[in-house]
Amino acid sequence: MERLSKLKQFILSDHRYVLLGTSVVAAIGIWFSMQKRSAMSFLRGAYALEVVMYWILIAWLAISAVALVWKLTHWEGDAYQRTSPFTKPAAKRILRYGSYVVWAITAVLFVDRAVMGFLSIVSQSLAQDKNPSDFLSSIVYMLDKSYDIIGRGILTTVGLSVFGTLIAFFLAILLVFIRIQEVDRCDNDFVRFCKRFGCEFAKAYSTIVRGTPMMVQAMLIYFAGFGVLRNSGMSVSEIGRVWSTFVAGLVTISLNSTAYMMEVLRGGIEAVDPGQNEAARSLGLSQWQAMIKVVFPQGIKNAIPALSNELVVNIKDSSVLSVIGVFDLMFATKTVVGIYFKQIELYVVAAFCYLCLTMVASWLLGKFAKHLSVEPQPLMSVSDATTTVGTVAGTGSSEYSLDKKKARK
């Protein structure tokens, strides 16, 4: 809001920007005035008033043209500032008030032509007995008749995206912890084997999942699960109650997002100052305790913006799950297309719905990330000591003051 206020003050402080910006608005207003009035237009009986508004907009464009010609003919130095009548304080004040009038006229024309025109189309479309041929009217008619199908698809898409992202987040924390494990001197042979095997498994999982399309993964997961349950002697109806397309789609999104979130979390953890882990170990914490209590909280906080984007990606990528019969927004759109045989209109509706979902998710996640954007604090000992004895990474000395490090920041 502060930036917008400064931009507004800057524009209004220079009459050239007032003329240029308001001329664009005036041209838009003229275009609206040339459009056909709708049945719900409130200017239908005020033709004289609309003519006056039209000529006011034309007059503003004429004044802007004169100012532009004057500027082009007095280009060198400060000749324009000295000779132009538009640079006088009284002229600037009149231009500013005139710009308010132009904006108000354009707003009135926008409401009359665009808003009232849209409402008129909606009312006429709802009264039709068959699908209209007009593009916008057809969209309104099909949405009115199929809103329950589209609504069910939207709810399924939101449910798959939200729950799939949450499940993937906890799985990614587990896998990234396995991925970053290092063999310690005190580990026995079994623990060493488990750490190395877990690290290689996490790497292979990330490579395979990120290297194959989600559509292929969805088909493999769904039909593999269906085949396993079928071989166990279950009937098709029993399998449908246990292994539905929604469950298969949720598993697909969760496993797919886990691989990407794991790499994001690993990047956030590696961004944590290595001195934090070394300081924790020097205070007597084990490797597990240092990771859980010191490194992981800071790493997750560093990765929150990138993790939030995964929800937006899942909202869009969930559309591929329609290939296995998940009744998401894309499947619902295809269902309505099969009813009315209108492709472009309904896919425009689907695109608009996905855009709205991603914009709302981005806004909410932005608020959440802003709420948690706190600078990671340096590790302090339980006795709140100001000096840690021992070589700390990056200091090059055997004595390092945490208070001094905070002061430099």
CB-based contact 162:368 (threshold 8 Å)? no
pLDDT recorded at residue 1? 52
pLDDT recorded at residue 20? 83
What tokens does 308 get? Answer: 């939030």
Could you give the domains of the chain?
2-127 (no CATH), 153-212+220-316+358-376 (1.10.3720.10)
pLDDT recorded at residue 191? 77
Question: For tokens 């809001």, what's the residue?
Answer: 1
Distance CA 349, CA 336 (A): 11
Amino acid letter for position 74: H
Comparing CA positions, the residue from 408, 397, 391 lying closest to residue 279 is 391
- For the stretch 178-182, contacts whose Cβ atoms lie closer than 8 Å and that sit 24 or more positions apart, written own/partner, are 178/202, 179/203, 179/206, 179/262, 179/266, 180/266, 180/269, 180/291, 182/287
pLDDT recorded at residue 251? 95
CB-based contact 299:273 (threshold 8 Å)? no
Q: HSE, CB side, 13 Å, CA atoms: give it for residue 335.
A: 20
Taking only the tens of pLDDT, the chain with its 409 residues reads 555 454 444 444 455 677 888 899 999 999 999 998 888 898 888 889 999 999 999 999 998 888 888 777 877 767 767 777 777 888 888 888 999 999 999 999 999 999 999 999 899 888 888 888 889 899 999 999 999 999 999 999 999 999 999 999 889 988 888 887 777 667 677 878 888 888 899 999 999 999 999 999 999 999 999 999 989 888 888 888 889 999 999 999 999 999 998 888 888 777 777 777 778 777 777 766 777 777 777 777 777 777 778 889 999 999 999 999 999 999 999 999 999 998 999 999 999 999 999 999 988 887 877 776 544 344 343 334 333 333 333 333 333 333 333 333 4
Q: What is the DSSP letter of 342?
A: -
pLDDT recorded at residue 218? 94
